[in-house]
Amino acid sequence: MLKHTHSPFGQKYQVSEGRSFQRPGTDPGWWRDATCAEVDCPHYLLGWTTVVPTSSAQAEYIRRRSGRRFIERRDEEAMSAFHFEPGQRCFGRIHRVKIGRPPLYLRNGELIDWDRWFGEFNEDFEKSARR
């Protein structure tokens, strides 16, 4: 009987008694933070507009502490539109990219290559299904 669980390392499969198989998941160690430029962020490439109330904390942050270049336009309804030119880091987005580390495949805690992992997993699964 196949038992499937998740672990910080990835997904774990218990196919038969005493044998387990693990494959990589979305462990944070496989990713790193990236810049807007690295991921072709649309805000970075094209610029963007943020609209907030003119007297809000968000507006004050943009004006005084954001460190970004913008043009502010205010309307008669007490709203401010901040137009940011391209080439600047966007607000609040965390961009991530894979670090290029090769995936690790484990059988009973032993590191094995993909072909061996796949073959042994399938063999054990087929034996388990016949029982």
pLDDT tens profile 88-116: 999 977 898 888 766 677 777 777 777 88
28 pLDDT above the threshold of 80: no
- 67 shares its domain with 33: no
Q: Does one domain contain both 30 and 8?
A: yes
The pLDDT of residue 87 is: 96
* Banded pLDDT at 2 (limits 50, 70, 90): very low
Distances, alpha carbon 63 to alpha carbons 45, 46, 54, 76, 106, in Å = 22, 21, 11, 19, 52
pTM over cut 0.75: no
Residues 106 and 76 in one domain: no
Is residue 22 located within the same domain as residue 56? Answer: no
Domain that holds residue 110: 1-41+99-131
Q: How many domains does the chain have?
A: 2
